[in-house]
Chains A and B, each alone.
Chain A
Amino acid sequence: MNSAQHRVTVQLLNTSKFKDIVISVRFLCPLKRTNSLERSLLSSMIQDRSEKYDTKHKVTAVLDNLYGASIASRTLTYGKAHLLEFRCKVLNEKFCTTAHLEQQFELVHQFLFHPLLSEESFHEAKDNFKDAIARKVDKPSAFASNQAMLMMGKDEAMEAACIPTIKEIEAITLEDVRKCWKQMMSENHICVQIQGELNEDTIRSYIQRFLPFESSNDLPEVEYVIHKEDYQEASDTKHIDQTMLVMMFETGMKASDPDFWKLRCANALFGQLPTSLLFQEVREKRSLCYSIYSSILSYEGCMSVSTGVSLHQLEETRNVILEQFQRMKQGDFSDADFETAKIMLKDSVLSTADDMNAMLNFQYQNLLLCYDRKLEDCLNDIEMTTREDVIRLFNQMNHKVTYILKQEEHNEENI
């Protein structure tokens, strides 16, 4: 059920299926590089301490006394927009000896409206951010994906979402973060989601009392479609045990496109499932890799293919992947495989209803794409997809980027 309240969007997901009550507050604004990094620091600081709970020790105490409640903040991008989500999960009070729903709301209020944006917490957040960047760079698969996205997203919003440099983090000041918080509270699009077994009247009164946001801006532009003029290829070498290959394709399609679920079907058949062409041809038939998959970047109009192989089998793998891409374009796949892809995709849509996070994200995406779709609508779209749709959509795609993170030749010790 959706409704507007003080211009803040409220979504109540009432279900007795789960043992928790979740409060999720989502702040969305246009994606800008520097601002997104400031928000990442803010996100880390917001969840760490507040004015009332001004030490980690106090925060832990209040959460433990709420039966291991959790608070977490994260940032992510939705196409041209940047999201900061603050989430608080507490056990439904019917499983406890004390009532604490009001305390849960009070807790969210404290962390969002009275965060501790101090020098100490700022420096700690900065250090943690720099460590997290280094960790990502050290992980070959994450590094390779990032490099491919940098190439594909050059001069687009996607570039702003790539791994930052330490220098960029160093340049941010505490004052920047404080301004960023003020801006977030007053100038972002704000959505409050509450999920669990709810008394809606009580919940609404608590929202009014504990989440008194002054205003919420209009939804910023979210989805876009990347278009690159030329094909690009690049590689780096590292002393690693496997060569990482990432290929990126333009799909030419937005997430709100009526054909979007047809594209998801096509991707499932191409490389999402164990029955897909990529998995069967690259892994099962030729034993070239352990892991290979394709995925759709819904809000950017792209598809990526990622795998890890032995350096001496790199060219063979690359050729087999491109052959499968051609097969999709030519409709060289069986009816049985196509039907299987549809069945599996429908099953994954149905399973959304059993997952608290997935349901929250599904409802939020409805909001972002300005429609009110039910899971059944997605199932229907999948059901209606034809072979011709798949062929047509793959013929609209273009292979635009290949990035290879090579293992040094003398480090190729496998097989």
Chain B
Amino acid sequence: MKKTFEPRFDETYYTETLENGLKLVIWHKPLFTATSCIFATPYGALDYSQTTEDGTIINDPAGIAHFLEHKMFECSHGDVMTDFSEMGANVNAFTSYTETCYTFSTCQKDIAKPLNLLLDFVQELSITDQSVEKEKGIICQELAMYQQMPDSRLFNETFKALYALHPLNEDIGGSSESVMSTSRTQLENCYKRNYHPSCMTLVIVTPIDPLLILEIVKENQSKKLFDPPVKVYRTPCNEQDEVCSTHHIIEMDVSTPKVSLAYKFKPILKSDKDRTQDEWEIRCLLESHFSSLNPDYQTWIDQDLINDYFFYEVDFGKDYAMMMFVNETDNPSQFKAFIEEQLMVLKDKVIGLEVLNQLKKRYAGQAMRLYNSPDDIASITIKGLFTGVDYFSLIRLIESLNQHTIKETFAKLDFHQSALIEINSFKNC
């Protein structure tokens, strides 16, 4: 097991790859009481269409990764949640666009039982046609819950307006139609393709001796036999350059209209590190301009161009790139004109050295602060491993950014493809 000490953060972690390919990361936090654990696969909502090595395309219903996450909790004798609870451990799971994570946390000193249980339940799928059908009602209620939340609805509708073919145009949980069409066989096949230990990572943040943890994991894995891994990758889509809809209005029973102005860029075909650097360069430039770092920010608030809900988002994924600006306003066209005008200003702007250094200090402090929480440590470790840029490297990368490459990276963005999405009150429509 390889030990790494980060003196600047005063943090120690251990890494090991087991014989079956399972990657293990252990953070030793002797002063903490709780152990926090994540077992994750880089299989998320964007992966519902996959291609095998021989070129066969497997199209599953949208939301299948999330559906599978729900069904993993079923075991031969019922529900694995009860088993965790009996051990005094909180178990949970979540599916994002790019990964599915199973977590537990506990303050119990006997970590072997919940850790073995986590490994066992995620490494065995046991479902029936009947239980799959029963889950559909629960998932549809979950979708309905998000559907009526104005914030999450705006996000989803923005992706739908930008993308015609890319799986970002589907909600993480899919739709009620895709959920209702999901079968047991599809779930089982999807499980076989994406839950092999060689594609999974286990992160444990614990006060317990890391060698003891390694022993528990090794012993657990040594008892199990796995079929050879199936190599699959997300089916590439020939996403069009154009947005699907330049202007879309959604009616909801709300009193506050919301608007999102989103830009679609061509995917940034670079290494993970270089793409991440591009994303952070843009992020720093936007933060320097669209926040209180800019003295004009107060004027924009005073002139009602933005309110305290205003925010922006930049996301440069492996096969997509987008940026969005979100605000509450009953004058969306004014907001659009305002953002467009400011983006023109940014084209000629070089971020000030003082501001850039200020941001570097801020991000370094925020990064360190994440190590206050075992859950956060586990999450950022998984994110770092799956995006190809670990957190310490990310901080070093941010600290290495310079004014001129930021300007160059921004200059390369083509802002011609945009979509304006409004959430409006019925009463105003």
Contacts and interface: CB of A to CB of B under 8 A. Distances in A.
A56 B373 contact: no
Interface in A36-70: 55-57, 59-61, 63-69
B81 A20 contact: no
Given A18-B372, A60-B293, A95-B8, A347 B254 contact: no
Interface stretch (B143-151, B212-220, B230-238, B341-349): B143-151
B31 A17 contact: yes
Interface in B159-185: 176, 180
User: Which of A17, A89, A346 is most buried by chain B, counting CB atoms within 10 A of its CB?
Assistant: A17
Given A274-B81, A344-B88, A353-B33, A64 B359 contact: yes
B332 to A, nearest CB: 16
Contacts of B256: 131, 134-135, 138
Interface in B327-384: 328, 358-359, 361-366, 368-369, 371-374
Nearest to A415: B140
A388 interface: no
Nearest to B135: A287
A340 interface: yes
A287 B130 CA distance: 12
Contacts of A61: 293, 358
Contact of B372 (A59, A134, A347, A356): A356
Contacts of B328: 131, 135
B176 A414 contact: yes
A413 B85 contact: no
Given A284-B79, A354-B34, A239 B88 contact: no
Contact of B294 (A16, A57, A69, A291): A57
Interface stretch (B57-65, B272-280, B300-308): B300-308
B26 interface: no
Interface in B59-84: 79, 81-82
Contacts of B358: 60-61, 64-65
B113 to A, nearest CB: 12
Contacts of B368: 19, 67, 91, 95
Contacts of B309: 131, 135
B308 A290 contact: no
Interface string A258-283: 00000000000000011100000001
A64 B362 CA distance: 5
Interface stretch (A4-12, A120-128, A156-164, A362-370): A120-128
Nearest to A132: B308
Interface string B12-35: 000000000000000000011110
A287 B140 CA distance: 10
A356 B32 CA distance: 12
Contacts of B150: 138-139
Contacts of A350: 33-34, 107
B320 to A, nearest CB: 28
A415 B168 CA distance: 24
B362 to A, nearest CB: 4
Contact of A67 (B34, B143, B361): B361
Contact of B255 (A134, A283, A356): A134
Nearest to A412: B144
A16 B88 CA distance: 26
Given A57-B294, A354-B33, A415-B136, A67 B82 contact: no
Contact of A120 (B176, B302, B307): B302
A127 B138 contact: no
A347 B108 contact: yes
B298 interface: yes
A79 interface: no
B107 A351 contact: yes
A289 interface: yes
B188 interface: no
Contacts of B227: none
Given A64-B361, A290-B145, A344-B85, A138 B371 contact: no
Given A120-B302, A124-B301, A290-B142, A67 B176 contact: no
A56 B135 contact: no
Given A57-B294, A60-B292, A351-B105, A340 B86 contact: yes
Interface string A126-169: 01100100110111100000000000000000000000000000
A291 B136 CA distance: 14
B285 interface: no
The range of chain A's interface size is 35 or more
B30 to A, nearest CB: 10
A242 B144 contact: yes
User: Which of B108, B140, B143, B293 is most buried by chain A, counting CB atoms within 10 A of its CB?
Assistant: B140
Contacts of B291: 60
Given A19-B372, A57-B294, A67 B135 contact: no
Given A56-B297, A340-B85, A69 B365 contact: yes
B128 interface: no
A124 B255 CA distance: 20
A241 B85 contact: no
User: Which of A59, A138, A350 is most buried by chain B, counting CB atoms within 10 A of its CB?
Assistant: A138
B8 A336 contact: no
A209 interface: no
A347 B87 CA distance: 10
Given A290-B142, A343-B88, A355 B373 contact: yes
User: Which of A67, A89, A289 is most buried by chain B, counting CB atoms within 10 A of its CB?
Assistant: A67
A184 interface: no
Contact of B144 (A308, A344, A347): A308
A182 B10 CA distance: 43
Interface string B74-113: 0000010110011111110000000000000111100000
Given A124-B301, A340-B82, A347-B106, A68 B362 contact: yes
Interface string A54-97: 01110111011111110000000000000000000101000100
A242 B145 CA distance: 6
Contacts of A344: 85, 88, 90
A283 B142 CA distance: 11
Interface in A83-125: 89, 91, 95, 120, 124
User: Which of B255, B302, B361, B363 is most buried by chain A, counting CB atoms within 10 A of its CB?
Assistant: B361
A185 interface: no
B11 to A, nearest CB: 10
A309 interface: yes
Contacts of B148: 140, 240-242
A373 interface: no
User: Which of A288, A291, A344 is most buried by chain B, counting CB atoms within 10 A of its CB?
Assistant: A344
Contacts of B359: 64
Contacts of B139: 290
B388 interface: no
Nearest to B150: A138
Given A284-B79, A354-B33, 16 more contacts: A57-B298, A64-B361, A67-B361, A68-B361, A134-B255, A140-B149, A240-B253, A274-B81, A287-B136, A310-B141, A340-B82, A347-B89, A347-B90, A347-B107, A355-B373, A413-B176
4 interchain residue pairs of minimum CB distance: A67-B365, A287-B137, A68-B365, A350-B107
11 contacts: A65-B361, A67-B364, A68-B365, A241-B147, A273-B85, A291-B145, A350-B34, A353-B33, A354-B34, A414-B143, A415-B136
Interface of A: 15-20, 55-57, 59-61, 63-69, 89, 91, 95, 120, 124, 127-128, 131, 134-135, 137-140, 238-242, 273-275, 283-284, 287-291, 308-310, 336, 339-340, 343-344, 346-348, 350-351, 353-356, 413-415
